[in-house]
Amino acid sequence: MNFSSIFKKETNNTIPLSSLNEPSEKSMSHSEQPNKLIKIFIVEDDALFGKAVKFSLEKNLNYDVTVFTTGKTFLESLHLNPDIVSIDHNLPDMKGLDLLEKIEAYNSEISCIFLSGQEEVEVVVQTYKAGAKDYIIKKDNCIVELTNSIQNLSANVSLRKEVEELKNRIIDRSRYEQMIGESPAILNVIRMMQKVERSNMMVMVTGENGTGKEMIGKLVHYNSPRMREPYVAVNMAAIAEDLIESELFGHEKGSFTGADNRRLGKFEEANRGTIFLDEIGEMDMSMQSKLLRVLQEGAITRVGGNKEIQLDVRVVAATNKNLPQMVKDGKFREDLYYRLSGFPVHLPPLRDRGNDVIILAKNFLKNFCESNKMQQKSFTREALEAFMKHNWPGNVRELKSTVERAAIIADKNLILMDDLVFASSAVAA
C-alpha cells in the first residue's frame, strides 16, 4: 500500500497537543484550538501507515493523536485514558485481539476500531464480540474509512464528555480553587475531601514529594467546622529527635537544660483546630508510642510536667513513604498506622495527571508574571510538548520552579523549549 502521496509536507513524531492553543516555534502562529479534545491512540506497527493516519486525522483540530508501534508501549500509556483506539490486527509483540480484550477490561468506555487484512466472517464476528465498535479491512481506502469511523464515534465521545462534565459540576470547585486541574485523578481527590471535610475523622494524606500534601491539610481544615480555629503544620523530619516531644507537647520551665520558660507545644497551639503532621514516617518508634497515647486519650502531658491537658485537635498526617511496608518491616507501629489512617487520601503523581501539567504550568506562569510585575508570557507548542513528555519526579513543586525559571530565562514574551531547564534531569545525570 502506497501512502507517500498522502504527505504534502514533512510531518514529525512529537506528541500533538492541539488543545494547547499555542504558537509553534517554527511558524510562531497557530489557529485557535478547541477546548474539548478527542484523544485518539493509533496502535500500528507499520510506521509509514501510522504517519499517514496521524497526518489525515490531525486535519481535524478536535483530535489529539498519538501513534504507538507496539502493544507494550501502548499499554504503558493506557492510564492516560484515550477516547478512541485504532488497533492493528498483527502487532510485533501481541495479537490485536488480545490488546482489545485488555482495553475492554481496563475501561469499556474506550471506543476501539479494529484494522485488519483478515476478511473472514469468523474473525470479524469474534472482534465485535470482544468489544470493537468497528472493523475495517486494510485496503487502499482504509484511511478514509478509519477517519469516517472515528468521526462517527467522536459524536458519542463528545456527548459522554458533556454528561461527565455535568456530573463533575456537582463538585463545589469554589472551595477548592487551589486544587488546579481537571484530570479524573484530581477530581476524585476533591470528591474524597468533600466527603470527610465536615467530620472530625483523622486523615492520612499519601503521595510522592512535591504533590501538594500540605495543601490538602489546609483545605481539609479551612473547609471544616474548625476553619476559624488554629491550623498548625509540623514537619516531623525537620525536628531533632531529642526535641520532638517538647515541640509537639510542650515543656515546663526547668524541665531540661535551656528550658527557661514554660512553652506550649504544637498540639496545644492547635487546640480546637487542626494539626498537620508532615513526614509522619520519619518519627522514631519511641515517639510513635507517645503519639499513639495522645491520640487515644485526647490529652497531652508537657515534658517535665505531671498534669494531663485535655485537647480537642483534629489530626491530618502525611507521608511519602510506604507505611504498610514499614509496618511489616517493624519500623512503624501497626496500631498507630490504623489510628492515623482513618480516612486515606492519595495524591497522584503529576505524570499520571495528563493535561493537568499544562493547566498548572499556565497558572504558575500567570501568577509569577503578576507577582513579579512582568509582562505576561506564554509557552510555545514545543515547550508544552516538552512539559508533557517530562516525567516530573519532583511533581508539582518541580513544575512550578521550572516554569518560574523559564519566565526569567526567556528573552521575549514567548517561552521556547530552549528556555526550559529541568532540574530533575541534571540530578539524574
pLDDT value at position 62? 87
In this structure, are strands 299-301 and 274-278 parallel, antiparallel, or unpaired? unpaired
Closest CA to 97 of 79, 80, 82, 115: 115
Confidence of residue 20 (pLDDT cuts 50, 70, 90): very low
259 within a domain of the structure (yes/no)? yes
pLDDT at 15 over 90: no
The predicted structure's pLDDT at residue 424: 65
Decide if pLDDT at 73 tops 60.
Answer: yes
Residue 81: per-residue pLDDT: 84
21: in domain: no
pTM tops 0.95, yes or no: no
In a domain, 355, yes or no: yes
427, pLDDT greater than 80: no
- Position 332 in a domain: yes
Average pLDDT, the chain: 87
Q: Identify whether residues 120 and 203 lie together within a single domain.
A: no
Answer yes or no: is pLDDT of 30 > 50: no
pLDDT digits (tens, 9 = 90+) for 273-289: 999 999 999 999 999 99
414 and 341 within one domain: no
Q: List pLDDT tens digits, range 187-214.
A: 999 988 988 888 889 999 999 999 999 9
14 assigned to some structural domain: no
In a domain, 28, yes or no: no
126 and 244, same domain (yes or no)? no
Residue 173 lies in a domain: no
Domain shared by 203 and 315, yes or no: yes
Tell me the residue range of the domain where 124 lies.
34-166
Do residues 319 and 210 share a domain? yes
Whether residue 174 lies inside any domain: the answer is no
